[in-house]
């Protein structure tokens, strides 16, 4: 075991995000001495690919992560709540993709392009933010630094892959049946998702918002380190396989012109500006799928207020919205020599 060549566990390795984590680790040549896939007893024994080699998935048990330096979790909140503390107690740093630890005051909630400094105070568990929040704050960080954002109004158009493989299969199945004049029976979602939009992601809360919407509200404030930012969100599921799109309206203390905004975003890490409306060039979910960056376009002033801007933000929700961000956190931990659990 070495701080420079850590042993890495991928928990939930048979899921869509877990498989993407393995792919990203390989593509970015993460300097692991060993990468080991884990999953539940139901999936243990299956094979996953890593660097052209088939690895056998091991069953995750209470003592499984002893001897590992880094564990990337993508196995659901209940699994994380049980096994992440055990891993941290054994000296393994956990980067968790569930919502279990995001608002825990003892756990940093990190997007490496935005708040890598928060890794300095980790206690063994680091939370990976919600996919919709990640892509939004990557784009908003340089604007917040320059002009301080006072208010955010965001509407999301989220791909079915955010729900998992069953939802991808359901959209495929429904499209096929409807194109052949056959009826569909929704199973994953409460209503038909093919050729439809569902203004509900996760369950409704007492305030009328869904959990997904309130994640964006609370996580944005924590990541940007500013609890005074007013945020409101509407999250919608759309019949797209990969790639979340967001319409974001911001109000800033200091005025930003369109040209200033384009320049700030073009210089920001992880951001690509695609904003040539006269040529019909703007970010598209189908183009962002499989890409690492966050794409921003349709940049224009909100003429209804003094210091307002509208942005269209698109990113691959499985990649930057989950797997890539987790691996980038691991890379940042290595750079900062933080791949250890404080005693």
Range 50-71 burial, b when 16+ CB lie within 10 A, else e: beeeebebbebeeebbeebbbb
- C-alpha closest to that of 114 among 139, 92, 84: 139
- CA separation for the pair 198, 190 (Å, rounded): 9
Q: Is 244 labeled as catalytic in the residue annotation?
A: yes
Cα–Cα distance, 231 to 133 (Å, whole number): 11
**Residue 122 is among the residues annotated as catalytic for this protein:** no
**How buried is 228 (Cβ within 10 angstroms: 0-12 exposed, 13-18 middle, 19+ buried)?**
exposed
Helix (H) or strand (E) holding 154: strand 149-158
Identified catalytic residue from 92, 107, 144, 244? 244
CB 125 within 8 A of CB 85: yes
Q: Which of 107, 131, 144, 173 is catalytic?
A: 131
**Residue 250 CA to its chain's centroid (Å):** 21
- Tokens read off for 48: 């996953």
Q: What residues are labeled active site?
A: 131, 244
């Amino acid at each position: 075991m070495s701080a420079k060549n850590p042993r890495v566990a991928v928990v939930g390795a048979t899921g869509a995000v877990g498989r993407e984590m393995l792919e990203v680790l390989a593509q970015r040549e993460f300097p692991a001495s060993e990468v080991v896939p884990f999953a539940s007893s139901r999936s243990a024994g299956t094979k996953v690919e890593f660097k052209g080699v088939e690895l056998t998935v091991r069953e995750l048990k209470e003592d499984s992560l002893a001897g590992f330096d880094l564990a990337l979790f993508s196995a659901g909140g209940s699994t994380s709540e049980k096994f992440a503390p055990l891993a941290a107690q054994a000296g393994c740093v956990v980067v968790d993709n569930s919502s279990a630890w995001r608002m825990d005051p003892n756990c940093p909630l990190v997007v490496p392009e935005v708040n890598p400094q928060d890794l300095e105070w980790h206690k063994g568990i680091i939370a990976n933010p919600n996919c919709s929040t990640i892509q939004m704050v990557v784009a908003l960080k340089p604007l917040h630094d320059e002009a301080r954002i006072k208010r955010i109004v965001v509407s999301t158009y989220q791909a079915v892959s955010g729900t998992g493989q069953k939802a991808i299969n359901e959209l495929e199945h429904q499209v096929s049946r409807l194109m052949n004049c056959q009826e569909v029976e929704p199973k994953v979602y409460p209503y038909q998702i093919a050729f439809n939009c569902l203004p509900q992601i996760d369950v409704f809360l007492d305030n009328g918002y869904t959990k997904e919407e309130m994640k964006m509200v609370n996580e944005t404030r924590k990541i940007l380190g500013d609890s005074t930012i007013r945020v409101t969100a509407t999250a919608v599921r759309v019949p797209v396989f990969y790639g979340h799109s967001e319409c974001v309206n911001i109000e800033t203390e200091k005025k930003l012109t369109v040209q200033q905004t384009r320049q700030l975003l073009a210089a920001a890490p992880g951001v690509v500006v695609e904003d040539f409306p006269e040529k019909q060039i703007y970010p598209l979910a189908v183009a962002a799928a499989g890409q690492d960056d966050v794409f921003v376009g349709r940049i224009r002033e909100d003429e209804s207020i003094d210091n307002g801007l509208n942005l269209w933000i698109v990113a691959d929700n499985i990649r930057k919205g989950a797997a890539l961000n987790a691996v980038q956190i691991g890379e940042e931990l290595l750079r900062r020599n933080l791949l250890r659990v404080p005693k």
